[in-house]
């Protein structure tokens, strides 16, 4: 076999490997979509529909919301997004917020966290996207700096201090600065969450004047 033939065979083998990897990635994505967390959709009253999410902020959350909105777009004027989530992916959270912003162009969107339910980490910016924001006094909330995760093990990765500070500042700018959060309360939160999780109840957030919750149920 000549060198040119060997080179050609190597090129073919590399191409086939790429095709297989693309197929496996697509297959994995399809499996996640088919078996991933479900969005529970119920009609509360004529014109009002509830989207209940009881899972982490992870794919295919944004797709679930997008599909449900397309189904109910012409049959509702008000959407209640009922959350109970430990948080999760910043990228997926950003995508979910994009879908909610699209909903708000034509519908009134209320976000809600019920009694004993939790809205942790990336769930909070999603909650803040609601035009009307309602929570129970006993609801649980957690805030922390964004963390870097190992893509393989899922474990938290330590990063240099300047990178941690940059990531934290960017998170605040992207998700909190242009929200209804009380700026003085936000400054206190940023000082408090350095290196630890910050927990509050719905009642405490209201009593502290955080601006996150508009009304306790």
Query: Are residues 89 and 21 both part of a single domain?
Result: no
What is the distance of C-alpha 73 from the center of its chain? 21
Query: Are residues 200 and 184 both part of a single domain?
Result: yes
Query: Are residues 131 and 149 both part of a single domain?
Result: yes
CATH number at residue 78: 3.90.226.10
- pLDDT per position in the chain (217 positions), as tens? 676 656 665 555 455 454 444 333 333 333 433 445 889 999 999 999 999 999 999 999 999 999 999 999 999 999 999 999 999 999 999 999 999 999 999 999 999 999 999 999 999 999 999 999 999 999 999 999 886 544 444 445 565 666 778 888 999 999 999 999 999 999 999 999 988 999 999 999 999 999 999 999 9
* The residue to which tokens 């700096």 are assigned: 145
Judge contact between 181 and 208, C-beta under 8 A: no
pTM over 0.85, yes/no = no
Query: Are residues 126 and 204 both part of a single domain?
Result: yes
Q: How many domains does the chain have?
A: 2
Query: Are residues 125 and 25 both part of a single domain?
Result: no
**Angle between the 61-72 and 90-104 helix axes, to the nearest 10 degrees?**
10
Query: Are residues 30 and 114 both part of a single domain?
Result: no
Query: Are residues 73 and 112 both part of a single domain?
Result: yes
DSSP secondary structure of 131-194: SEEEE-TT-EEEE----EE-TTT--EE---HHHHHHHHHHHHHHHTTTSS--HHHHHHHHHHTT
Query: Are residues 18 and 90 both part of a single domain?
Result: no
Query: Are residues 29 and 54 both part of a single domain?
Result: no
* The residue to which tokens 């990765």 are assigned: 157
The domain in which residue 122 lies consists of 36-216
Largest pairwise CA distance in the chain = 80
Query: Are residues 19 and 43 both part of a single domain?
Result: no
Query: Are residues 57 and 107 both part of a single domain?
Result: yes
Q: Report CA Rg, the chain.
A: 21
| Residue ranges in the chain assigned as alpha helix (H) | 3-35, 61-72, 90-104, 123-128, 161-175, 183-192, 202-207
């Amino acid at each position: 076999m000549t060198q040119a033939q060997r080179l050609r065979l190597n090129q073919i083998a590399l191409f086939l490997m790429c095709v297989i990897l693309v197929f496996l990635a697509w297959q994995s994505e399809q499996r996640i979509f088919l078996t991933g967390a479900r969005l529970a959709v119920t009609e509360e009253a004529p014109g009002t529909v509830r989207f209940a999410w009881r899972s982490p902020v992870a794919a295919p959350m944004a797709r679930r919301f997008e599909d449900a909105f397309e189904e109910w777009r012409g049959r509702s004027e008000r959407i209640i997004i009922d959350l109970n989530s430990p948080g999760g992916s910043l990228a997926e959270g950003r995508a979910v917020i994009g879908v909610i912003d699209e909903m708000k162009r034509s519908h009134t969107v209320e976000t809600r966290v019920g009694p004993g339910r939790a809205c942790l980490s990336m769930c909070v910016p999603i909650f803040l996207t609601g035009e009307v924001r309602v929570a129970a006094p006993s609801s649980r909330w957690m805030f922390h700096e964004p963390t870097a995760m190992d893509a393989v093990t899922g474990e938290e990765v330590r990063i240099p201090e300047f990178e941690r500070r940059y990531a934290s500042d960017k998170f605040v700018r992207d998700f909190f600065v242009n929200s209804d959060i009380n700026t003085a309360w936000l400054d206190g939160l940023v000082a408090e969450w350095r290196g630890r999780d910050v927990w509050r109840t719905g009642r405490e957030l209201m009593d502290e004047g955080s601006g996150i919750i508009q009304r306790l149920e």
